[in-house]
Structures are given as C-alpha cells and as structure tokens.
Amino acid sequence: MNLIILGPQGSGKGTQAKLLVEKLGLVYLEMGEVLRELARKKTPLGEKIASFQSQGKLVTDEIIAEVLKSFLTEENFKKGILFDGFPRNLSQTNLLEDELKNHQVKIDKVIFLNISFQESLRRLKARRICPTCGANYNLVTMPPKNGKLCDQCGSQLITRSDETDEAIKERLGVYQKETLPLIEIYRQKGILLEVNGEQSVGTIHLEILKNLGS
C-alpha cells in the first residue's frame, strides 16, 4: 500500500504518519525532515536548501526530484511507502506520477488532515525542537512533560530557526496557493480520505485505519 498524507503545516501529518508507519510497516518518506538533514550538511546541495528554508520558501522541484529518486526502489515499494510533505504542488504531483508509472505502481489513498488557517497558525507558533537530540514537540498538541525541557535529554527546547512569524505565514500562503488545489485532484480520482485534523490524535488515527480497512 502506497499512501500520501497531506494537510497544512501544523495539522499533525508527522504524528499520524509515524503511527501509520509503525502499524502498517511502511517505508516513511518525510520530505521536510530529509531536506532539513541535507541543509545541515555543508555541501552545495545542502547550502541551497538552507537558503530556501531560511526565507520560508519551498525548494525547487529539481532538488525534490533528486531526493525523491533515491527512495523509489523496488525494495521500498514491496513494503509500501508513505509520502509525508510531498507532493506540494502540481508539478511535483506530475513528477511523482511519472516515477510511479516507471515502477508500475500507484498511490492507493491520499489522507487529507483538514484544519483551519487559524488553528494551523496557532500550532506552528507552538512548535519546539531540542537542539541536542533533535526531538520535536508542540506546546499545544504534544507538549513536553517537564515545562520546556526535552523529555529525552533534558535540554532547553528552542524554536526552529525557520519558524519566524514571517516564515510561517509565507509557508501557509504557499500551501493555500499550491498544495490545497491538489486535494480536489485526488478527490476526483476517488482516492481522497478527508479527516478532521482538529480531533484528538487517537481519534484521527482510528478513523484513518478504519477507512484503510486496517
């Protein structure tokens, strides 16, 4: 089974994706985390990605294509792949479709976690990361147990450098313009599963599994 999970930033895609990967044994492609990892490396590609991220902008499709192809292997397709944070626009959708055709596979279901613009903004402003071990938290939906300290290593949590107010609003604007139209495309294909993303984590997970027949 090959799945895509879509939704605005802060919708809980990452949380639900990891639950599905654990439950269904899928290969996880979280494009945002892959790009952030590359951005931390002092390579020409990494520096290009870092430049885009510091401005709150999406990287080019050429960069995405380079990253994507390394994941689309026969071995991974046998297990099934969950795409998180990809595709983000029509050109990336077409890129993915072409690659899937080359491997004679398809996307079985597109999960859309729908939350309001206001809720997305509220959640994004509450995101925190541990600078020591890289653990992610959200003061609204997934707070640490001990104030603003990391549960895993006890370090003081910080706001990600690419999550200034300006960068957040820029990303949400891009999402509404470029990613939201994909929802209707997948709806017309009959493979869209729309879920209210403002419910509890457990409720959303169970609803997704029920609709996937798992």
Query: pLDDT tens across 56-78, in order?
Result: 777 888 888 887 877 889 999 99
Residue 141: pLDDT band (50, 70, 90) is confident
Pairwise pLDDT comparison (10 vs 189), residue with the higher score = 189
Q: What is the pLDDT of residue 71?
A: 81
Please state the rounded mean pLDDT for residues 158-177.
82
Query: pLDDT tens across 115-140, in order?
Result: 998 898 888 888 899 999 989 888 88
State if pTM tops 0.85: no
Q: What is the pLDDT of residue 179?
A: 87
Active site residues: 13, 88, 127, 160, 171
- Count other Cβ atoms within 10 Å, centred on residue 204: 21
Query: pLDDT tens across 93-114, in order?
Result: 999 999 899 899 999 999 999 9
Domain ranges for the chain: 3-116+179-212
Q: b/e per residue, 99-123, with b = 16+ CB within 10 A?
A: ebeeeebebebbbbbebeeebbbeb
**CA atoms of 114 and 194, how far apart (whole Å):** 7
Mean pLDDT estimate for the chain: 90
Architecture of domain 3-116+179-212: 3-Layer(aba) Sandwich (3.40)
